[in-house]
Amino acid sequence: MEMENNETQCFEVHLTEHEQIINEELNDIINNYDQFKQTINEQKENPQNQLLIEQINQWETNSIEIIQKKAQNCRDIVIKSSQTFINDIENKLNDLNEKIKEIHKESELNESNLNYLKNQLIEMTETFKNPPNISIEHDTQSFINEISIISSKKPKFNKWKQNAITAAGGNRRGQKLNLVNYPFGIFIDKKKNVFIADSHNHRIVEWKCNAKEGHIIAGGNGKGNQLDQLNRPTDVIYDQQNHSIIIADYGNRRVIQNQQILINNIDCWGLAIDKQGFLYVSNWRKNEVRRWKMGEYDNEGIVVAGGNAKGYQLSQLNFPTFIFVDEEQSVYVSDYNNDRVVKWRKDAKEGRIVAGGNGQGENLNQLFAPEGVIVDDLGRIYVADCENHRIMRWREGKEEGEIVVGGNGIENELNGPMGLSFDDEGNLYVADCDNYQIKKFEIIL
């Protein structure tokens, strides 16, 4: 009996110890649960999460703004394309009407004139029946699909006559007013007058449309650094609103306007003005492009392309020369020593190669020392492929370009082309530097 009591007492002791151990383990579980719950609550209130979410929200807002701007730009292109098409037809009708009045006035009504009028009217009618077919092209290379306007029909300003007209200069160099000496940058105004950076004559000359010689509008007083002198100017812009010229005075390291220094101590080469009133200047030594508000030059400007030392990375440039700025303030830069053209969107930290970039060469996916660059209303990029003696056209995102004019050797049509420009009719002007003239390639309508 005593043994049974001892066993009972021993069992009860073990049972008590076991219950105590279980309770302790339960308490540990409860404590771990409470700690884990507290960790979750703290994580929910983590300020880092909120910061990341705010960054995502900002990205969303910025992306929407970019899309809206691009969409509006595409709308504008569609509307402008339609308006241009109708305006062209109306202009031709007006010309035909003037011709009819002239025939009546001069009493020159004959079968030949009748056939001419009839053919002109038939041609205009056919053109009107076949307007440009506008469609959408998607760029799937970016996370947000970018859209741009393309035409399934060969658009206007597609081809040019290969035999050029001499718009300025001659077949030799010289200082006379009917000659130029290594023309670099050019600008064509609304009246088809040609402004030329006549580099080695140290002057800017204007050739009126169809003129036999030009007249000096800046420099022309010998090489020098006085306000009435220039030293190898590389580019010129005619500010049509203010009726003044802006000059990249390369040799004097300055940008001037009407014999006044706008920007000093700058290794300038190319110039551009946008519709918002900003002046852009490429600096070949610092490998950058800077922007100034027109009339506000008492500061260092803002870097809008390059500025990260000489190099071939997308954030760098190597001897930038001519530049072009589109309506969205994207900057196109001829990256001379990298044999490519790079597009820098507004506020971008790096550019995107839109022409060349496949090493130096003469293949259709290559450039050799690019100079002048312009972009048409459809976003197609035209490049003076200087050492290949040709003008190339590229569509952004495409692997290859196409030859517009030249490209058959230096003795054919072009020899070291530099500046490029279009007039309002789409005729293409080229500063044919080593042939000492400005050539006009007429559009084939």
Highest mean pLDDT among 31-40, 71-80, 220-229, 233-242 belongs to 220-229
In order, the DSSP letters of 38-55 are HHHHHHHT-HHHHHHHHH
* Superfamily per CATH, domain 159-444: TolB, C-terminal domain (2.120.10.30)
Question: Residue 2 pLDDT > 60, yes or no?
Answer: no
How far apart CA 178 and CA 212 sit, in angstroms, is: 6
The domain segmentation of the chain, as residue ranges, is 1-48, 51-151, 159-444
Residue 38 confidence class, pLDDT cut points 50, 70, 90: confident
Q: Which two tokens stand for residue 136?
A: 């959408």
**For the ranges 37-46, 340-349, 402-411, which has the lowest average pLDDT?**
37-46
Neighbours of 380 (CB within 10 A): 20
- What pLDDT sits at residue 317? 98
- What pLDDT sits at residue 112? 66
- What pLDDT sits at residue 240? 75
Q: Which of 438, 441, 443 is nearest to 167 (CA)?
A: 438
Pairing of strands 352-356, 370-375: unpaired
- What pLDDT sits at residue 152? 47
More confident of the two residues 79 and 40: 79
Q: Which of 410, 405, 407, 409 is nearest to 420 (CA)?
A: 405
Q: What is the mean pLDDT of residues 43-63?
A: 74
Strand boundaries in 61-199, DSSP class E:
134-139, 146-151, 165-169, 183-188, 194-198
How far apart CA 344 and CA 325 sit, in angstroms, is: 10
Q: 13-35 b/e with 16+ CB inside 10 Å = b?
A: eeeeeeeeeeeeeeeeeeeeeee
Q: What is the mean pLDDT of residues 27-52?
A: 74
Q: Which of 381, 384, 328 is nearest to 353 (CA)?
A: 381
Residue 4 confidence class, pLDDT cut points 50, 70, 90: low
Q: Are 403 and 418 in contact (CB under 8 A)?
A: no
> Above pLDDT 90, what percent of the chain?
56
Question: Tens digits of per-residue pLDDT, 178-204?
Answer: 999 999 999 999 999 999 999 999 999
Question: Tens digits of per-residue pLDDT, 77-110?
Answer: 888 877 877 887 787 778 778 778 777 776 666 7
Pairing of strands 331-335, 340-344: antiparallel
Neighbours of 432 (CB within 10 A): 27
Q: What is the mean pLDDT of residues 241-267?
A: 94
More confident of the two residues 354 and 19: 354
- What pLDDT sits at residue 109? 66
Q: What is the mean pLDDT of residues 398-403?
A: 94
Question: Tens digits of per-residue pLDDT, 136-177?
Answer: 766 655 556 555 555 444 445 468 998 899 999 987 999 999
Q: Are 343 and 329 in contact (CB under 8 A)?
A: no
- What pLDDT sits at residue 90? 81
How far apart CA 42 and CA 92 sit, in angstroms, is: 75
Residue 319 confidence class, pLDDT cut points 50, 70, 90: very high
Q: For residue 168, which amino acid is it?
A: A
Q: What secondary structure letter does DSSP report for 388?
A: G
Q: Which of 439, 431, 347 is nearest to 386 (CA)?
A: 431
Mean pLDDT, all residues of the chain: 86
Highest mean pLDDT among 28-32, 90-94, 126-130, 262-266 belongs to 262-266
Question: Under 8 Å CB-to-CB from 105, ≥6 apart: which residues?
Answer: none
- What pLDDT sits at residue 155? 46
Q: CA 322, 326, 332, 334 torsion: positive or negative?
A: negative
Question: Residue 418 pLDDT > 90, yes or no?
Answer: yes
Question: Residue 13 pLDDT > 70, yes or no?
Answer: no
Q: Are 404 and 395 in contact (CB under 8 A)?
A: no
Q: For residue 416, which amino acid is it?
A: G
Question: Tens digits of per-residue pLDDT, 425-445?
Answer: 999 999 999 999 999 999 987
Neighbours of 332 (CB within 10 A): 26
Q: Which two tokens stand for residue 400?
A: 């290859």
Sheet holding 331-335, edge to edge: 320-325, 331-335, 340-344, 352-356
